[in-house]
Amino acid sequence: MPEKIIGILGGMGPEATVDLFHKIIKFTPAEKDQDHLRIIIDNNPKIPDRTAAILGRGEDPFPALQESARNLGKTGADFIVVACNTAHYYISQIQESVNIPILNMIEETAKETQQIIPQIKKVGLLASIGTYKTEIYHKHFKKYNIEVISPEENDREGVMKIIYAVKAGNLSNDVKGNIYKIAQKLINKGAEAIIAGCTEIPLILKEGDISIPVIDPTQVLAEAAVQKAKL
Protein backbone atom coordinates (compact mmCIF):
# COMPACT_ATOMS: atom_id res chain seq x y z
CA MET A 1 0.00 0.00 0.00
CA PRO A 2 1.46 3.41 -0.93
CA GLU A 3 2.25 5.87 1.84
CA LYS A 4 -0.22 8.67 2.45
CA ILE A 5 0.69 12.30 1.84
CA ILE A 6 0.52 14.53 4.94
CA GLY A 7 -0.93 18.03 4.71
CA ILE A 8 0.13 20.51 7.39
CA LEU A 9 -2.25 23.42 7.98
CA GLY A 10 0.25 25.86 9.42
CA GLY A 11 1.42 29.39 9.95
CA MET A 12 -0.02 29.71 13.48
CA GLY A 13 2.83 30.60 14.04
CA PRO A 14 5.52 29.70 11.52
CA GLU A 15 8.02 28.47 14.18
CA ALA A 16 5.39 26.07 15.54
CA THR A 17 4.79 24.80 11.99
CA VAL A 18 8.53 24.19 11.54
CA ASP A 19 8.53 22.35 14.88
CA LEU A 20 5.76 19.99 13.73
CA PHE A 21 7.46 19.44 10.36
CA HIS A 22 10.77 18.71 12.08
CA LYS A 23 9.16 16.26 14.51
CA ILE A 24 7.45 14.37 11.67
CA ILE A 25 10.87 13.99 10.02
CA LYS A 26 12.45 12.97 13.34
CA PHE A 27 9.85 10.26 14.01
CA THR A 28 9.95 8.82 10.49
CA PRO A 29 12.18 5.73 10.32
CA ALA A 30 14.49 6.57 7.43
CA GLU A 31 18.00 5.83 6.20
CA LYS A 32 17.82 7.94 3.01
CA ASP A 33 15.77 10.76 1.50
CA GLN A 34 13.40 8.38 -0.24
CA ASP A 35 12.40 6.75 3.07
CA HIS A 36 10.83 10.02 4.27
CA LEU A 37 7.18 10.96 3.83
CA ARG A 38 5.80 13.42 1.33
CA ILE A 39 4.48 16.48 3.18
CA ILE A 40 2.59 19.46 1.79
CA ILE A 41 2.64 22.56 4.01
CA ASP A 42 0.33 25.56 3.72
CA ASN A 43 2.11 28.01 6.01
CA ASN A 44 -0.42 30.86 6.20
CA PRO A 45 0.51 33.33 8.97
CA LYS A 46 -2.30 35.63 7.74
CA ILE A 47 -4.93 33.42 9.42
CA PRO A 48 -6.58 35.75 11.99
CA ASP A 49 -5.69 35.30 15.67
CA ARG A 50 -7.74 32.40 17.04
CA THR A 51 -7.80 33.59 20.66
CA ALA A 52 -8.85 37.13 19.70
CA ALA A 53 -11.75 35.70 17.68
CA ILE A 54 -12.88 33.34 20.47
CA LEU A 55 -12.87 36.27 22.90
CA GLY A 56 -14.97 38.32 20.47
CA ARG A 57 -12.16 40.79 19.80
CA GLY A 58 -11.01 39.79 16.35
CA GLU A 59 -11.81 38.52 12.87
CA ASP A 60 -13.21 35.02 12.40
CA PRO A 61 -10.31 32.72 11.36
CA PHE A 62 -12.59 29.98 10.00
CA PRO A 63 -12.73 31.16 6.35
CA ALA A 64 -8.91 31.22 6.19
CA LEU A 65 -8.63 27.85 7.96
CA GLN A 66 -11.17 26.40 5.54
CA GLU A 67 -9.30 27.81 2.53
CA SER A 68 -5.99 26.31 3.72
CA ALA A 69 -7.60 22.92 4.36
CA ARG A 70 -9.17 22.91 0.90
CA ASN A 71 -5.87 23.95 -0.69
CA LEU A 72 -4.15 20.99 0.97
CA GLY A 73 -6.82 18.64 -0.37
CA LYS A 74 -6.53 20.05 -3.89
CA THR A 75 -2.73 19.73 -3.89
CA GLY A 76 -2.81 16.04 -3.03
CA ALA A 77 -2.79 15.64 0.77
CA ASP A 78 -4.47 12.45 1.95
CA PHE A 79 -5.08 13.82 5.44
CA ILE A 80 -4.48 17.01 7.41
CA VAL A 81 -2.74 17.91 10.67
CA VAL A 82 -3.29 21.35 12.20
CA ALA A 83 -0.25 23.04 13.77
CA CYS A 84 -2.24 25.06 16.32
CA ASN A 85 -4.03 23.93 19.48
CA THR A 86 -6.54 26.80 19.65
CA ALA A 87 -7.54 26.28 16.00
CA HIS A 88 -8.90 22.87 17.04
CA TYR A 89 -11.95 24.75 18.35
CA TYR A 90 -12.90 25.03 14.66
CA ILE A 91 -11.90 21.51 13.64
CA SER A 92 -15.42 20.10 13.23
CA GLN A 93 -16.31 22.98 10.88
CA ILE A 94 -13.08 22.52 8.94
CA GLN A 95 -13.69 18.77 8.66
CA GLU A 96 -17.16 19.37 7.23
CA SER A 97 -15.66 21.46 4.43
CA VAL A 98 -13.09 18.91 3.18
CA ASN A 99 -13.37 15.29 2.12
CA ILE A 100 -10.07 14.12 3.62
CA PRO A 101 -9.67 13.31 7.33
CA ILE A 102 -8.15 15.68 9.89
CA LEU A 103 -6.17 14.21 12.79
CA ASN A 104 -7.31 15.79 16.06
CA MET A 105 -4.24 16.77 18.09
CA ILE A 106 -6.24 17.23 21.32
CA GLU A 107 -7.86 13.80 21.09
CA GLU A 108 -4.54 12.14 20.20
CA THR A 109 -2.89 13.85 23.21
CA ALA A 110 -5.59 12.69 25.63
CA LYS A 111 -5.29 9.12 24.34
CA GLU A 112 -1.49 9.16 24.48
CA THR A 113 -1.41 10.63 28.01
CA GLN A 114 -3.68 7.85 29.29
CA GLN A 115 -1.53 5.22 27.55
CA ILE A 116 1.85 6.41 28.84
CA ILE A 117 0.66 7.24 32.39
CA PRO A 118 -2.26 4.80 32.93
CA GLN A 119 -3.05 5.82 36.52
CA ILE A 120 -3.02 9.57 35.87
CA LYS A 121 -5.90 11.59 37.32
CA LYS A 122 -4.86 15.25 36.88
CA VAL A 123 -2.91 17.18 34.26
CA GLY A 124 -1.94 20.85 34.26
CA LEU A 125 -2.63 22.76 31.06
CA LEU A 126 -0.43 25.54 29.69
CA ALA A 127 -2.29 27.08 26.76
CA SER A 128 -3.72 30.19 25.14
CA ILE A 129 -6.64 31.99 26.73
CA GLY A 130 -8.72 30.88 23.73
CA THR A 131 -7.94 27.23 24.51
CA TYR A 132 -8.81 27.72 28.19
CA LYS A 133 -12.08 29.46 27.31
CA THR A 134 -13.28 26.77 24.88
CA GLU A 135 -12.23 23.95 27.26
CA ILE A 136 -11.35 21.74 24.29
CA TYR A 137 -8.72 19.92 26.38
CA HIS A 138 -11.12 19.47 29.29
CA LYS A 139 -13.70 17.81 27.02
CA HIS A 140 -11.31 15.34 25.40
CA PHE A 141 -9.46 14.42 28.62
CA LYS A 142 -12.77 13.87 30.44
CA LYS A 143 -13.38 10.85 28.15
CA TYR A 144 -10.32 9.25 29.79
CA ASN A 145 -11.33 10.31 33.34
CA ILE A 146 -8.48 12.80 33.53
CA GLU A 147 -9.10 16.19 35.15
CA VAL A 148 -7.51 19.23 33.49
CA ILE A 149 -6.21 21.90 35.88
CA SER A 150 -5.86 25.44 34.53
CA PRO A 151 -3.79 28.28 36.03
CA GLU A 152 -5.41 31.13 37.95
CA GLU A 153 -6.72 33.96 35.76
CA ASN A 154 -3.70 36.27 36.14
CA ASP A 155 -1.37 33.37 35.29
CA ARG A 156 -3.46 32.60 32.19
CA GLU A 157 -2.71 36.16 31.08
CA GLY A 158 0.93 35.45 31.90
CA VAL A 159 0.95 32.33 29.70
CA MET A 160 -0.58 34.37 26.87
CA LYS A 161 2.17 36.99 27.16
CA ILE A 162 4.75 34.19 27.06
CA ILE A 163 3.12 32.71 23.93
CA TYR A 164 3.24 36.07 22.14
CA ALA A 165 6.87 36.55 23.26
CA VAL A 166 7.78 33.19 21.69
CA LYS A 167 5.89 34.12 18.50
CA ALA A 168 8.06 37.26 18.41
CA GLY A 169 11.19 35.08 18.61
CA ASN A 170 11.97 35.58 22.30
CA LEU A 171 13.23 32.24 23.68
CA SER A 172 15.21 33.85 26.50
CA ASN A 173 15.88 32.33 29.91
CA ASP A 174 13.52 34.92 31.42
CA VAL A 175 10.66 33.70 29.25
CA LYS A 176 11.50 30.07 30.07
CA GLY A 177 11.73 30.89 33.78
CA ASN A 178 8.27 32.46 33.71
CA ILE A 179 6.68 29.36 32.18
CA TYR A 180 8.48 27.12 34.72
CA LYS A 181 6.99 29.19 37.58
CA ILE A 182 3.44 28.84 36.25
CA ALA A 183 4.00 25.10 35.68
CA GLN A 184 5.16 24.77 39.29
CA LYS A 185 1.93 26.34 40.53
CA LEU A 186 -0.01 23.68 38.59
CA ILE A 187 2.19 20.98 40.17
CA ASN A 188 1.36 22.47 43.58
CA LYS A 189 -2.35 22.11 42.68
CA GLY A 190 -1.90 18.37 42.07
CA ALA A 191 -0.93 18.11 38.40
CA GLU A 192 0.83 14.81 37.64
CA ALA A 193 1.92 15.92 34.15
CA ILE A 194 1.96 19.21 32.24
CA ILE A 195 0.37 19.54 28.81
CA ALA A 196 2.28 21.99 26.60
CA GLY A 197 -1.07 22.92 25.07
CA CYS A 198 -0.02 25.68 22.68
CA THR A 199 2.35 24.92 19.82
CA GLU A 200 4.71 27.67 21.05
CA ILE A 201 5.07 26.13 24.55
CA PRO A 202 7.21 23.09 23.51
CA LEU A 203 9.74 25.56 22.11
CA ILE A 204 10.49 26.71 25.70
CA LEU A 205 9.31 23.84 27.93
CA LYS A 206 10.69 20.35 27.39
CA GLU A 207 10.81 17.01 29.18
CA GLY A 208 13.26 17.29 32.09
CA ASP A 209 12.77 21.04 32.63
CA ILE A 210 10.35 20.44 35.53
CA SER A 211 9.79 17.70 38.13
CA ILE A 212 6.89 15.94 36.36
CA PRO A 213 6.41 14.71 32.76
CA VAL A 214 5.83 17.27 30.00
CA ILE A 215 3.39 16.07 27.33
CA ASP A 216 4.08 17.73 23.98
CA PRO A 217 0.96 17.62 21.75
CA THR A 218 3.06 18.62 18.72
CA GLN A 219 5.17 15.49 19.22
CA VAL A 220 2.07 13.35 19.78
CA LEU A 221 0.54 14.68 16.56
CA ALA A 222 3.78 14.13 14.63
CA GLU A 223 3.98 10.49 15.75
CA ALA A 224 0.28 9.94 14.95
CA ALA A 225 0.77 11.49 11.50
CA VAL A 226 3.71 9.20 10.69
CA GLN A 227 1.72 6.18 11.83
CA LYS A 228 -1.31 7.17 9.74
CA ALA A 229 0.81 7.92 6.66
CA LYS A 230 2.37 4.47 6.82
CA LEU A 231 -0.85 2.49 7.42
Write b or e for each residue in 154-171: b if 16 or more Cβ atoms lie within 10 A of its Cβ, otherwise e.
ebbebbbebbebbbeeee
Helix orientation angle between 105-116 and 217-230, rounded to the nearest 10 degrees = 100
198 catalytic? Reply is yes
Kindly name the residue from 82, 198, 214, 226 that is annotated as catalytic. 198
Rounded Cα gap, residues 140 and 159, in angstroms: 21
Kindly name the residue from 84, 127, 194, 229 that is annotated as catalytic. 84
CA 123 to chain CA centroid, Å, is 16
Q: Please confirm whether the linkage preceding 13 is cis (ω < 30° from 0).
A: yes
Beta bridge partners of 126: 196
- Catalytic positions, please? 84, 198
